[in-house]
Amino acid sequence: MQVDKDLIIIGGGAAGLSAAQYAARANLDVLVIEEMAAGGQCLIIGDLENYPGFPEPINGAEFAMLLEKQAKNFGANFLIGTAKSIAKEGDIYTIETSKGTYTTYAVILTTGAQHRKINVPGEKEFAGRGVSYCATCDGPFFKNKKMLVVGGGDAACDEASFLANLTDKVIMIHRRDKLRAQRSLAERVTKNPNIEVRYNTEIREIKGGMKVEGVVLEDNTSGETYEEEMDAVFVFIGSIPQTSLVPDVKKDEAGYIVTDQNMETENPGLYAAGDVRSSPFRQLVVAAGEGAIATHCASQRIDAIKGEAYE
C-alpha cells in the first residue's frame, strides 16, 4: 500500500525536531505535525546553558529555531495543525489532523508534557524571568540567591535538594502538614540545613519588575498572608503527559508512555520520545537523544516493510 509519508512525527519539541533531522538525513519522507510553533519546552527557557556544544548560554527560542532550521535544511516537512486521532490497519497508520488525513509506516509521538501551574498572578508574566519548572536548567542562574520551591512530592524534594547545593537560602512550601514524598527523600530535605520547610503554606502572588523580586504567601491554617523577598520561584507540583491520542497504550503510574529501549511502544511502529515517555530524567539533551533513537529504529521497520532491509 502506498502511504503519504514514510514517517510522521507528532510534536515539534527537542525530541520531535531531533527525530525529524535524523529521518530526513536517512532519506525518509518525514512530516512533523505541530499545533503551534516548533520548540516545545525550549520556548520557555530564557537562557539555555547546559546543552552540549553551547559554551555560552543561548536563548531557548533561538535554540528551537536552529533545531527547526536544521531539520528543514535536511528536507523535513512541517505541518501546523492538530493531530486528532491515530488508527492502524496492518502495517499502516492513519493520522487524522485538522488539515487532512495522512498515512504512514511509523509514528513517533513527541507530544511532551505540560507542567502543572499554580495559577497565581505573576506566574505567567515571570516565566523564564525567575519562575521556573526545572532546577537543573535554571538553578545555577540563582546561585547564592533566595529561592522558593513550591510542592511536596518526590520531584519537589529532589529539586530542592539540588538547589540547596547552590545556596543556603531555599524556602520550600507545601500546602499540607507533611510532605507527600517518599520518606527517604522527605528526610533528606527536612534535615538539610540549607532548606527551610514551611507546611500549610501556599503561594498567592509573584511580584517583581523585570524579574521576580518577591512573593505573597498564605498560612492556610490561620489565613494570614505576608510578603517576602525572593529571587526565584521553582514550581514542582507535577506534570501532565500529553497522551490523549493514545489512550490505550501502556503507561506508567504517572501516565507517561512506556517503551522499550528502541523507544517503541507495545504497538509495533508506534514510538514515543521526550517528555511524554516514561523516563528517570527529563532534559532537552535526553529528549534529543531519544528522538534520534526512535527515528533510527523506525527507519529499520520502514525498510523492512518496503522490502529494503539490509541483509
**Residues tagged active-site:** 134, 137-138
User: What letter represents residue 300's amino acid?
Assistant: Q
Give the containing element (helix H, strand E) for 226: strand 225-229
- Dmax (CA) for the chain in angstroms is 72
Residue whose grid cell is 494570614: 224
CA distance 234 to 283: 16
Concatenating the DSSP letter of every residue in 143-195 gives TTS-EEEE--SHHHHHHHHHHTTT-S-EEEE-SSSS--S-HHHHHHHHT-TTE
> What three-state secondary structure class fits 23?
helix
Other Cβ atoms closer than 10 A to 50? 14
48's CB contacts (< 8 A; 6+ apart) are: 42, 54, 57, 58, 59, 60, 63, 137, 284
With beta carbons less than 8 A apart as the criterion, state whether 138 and 131 touch.
no
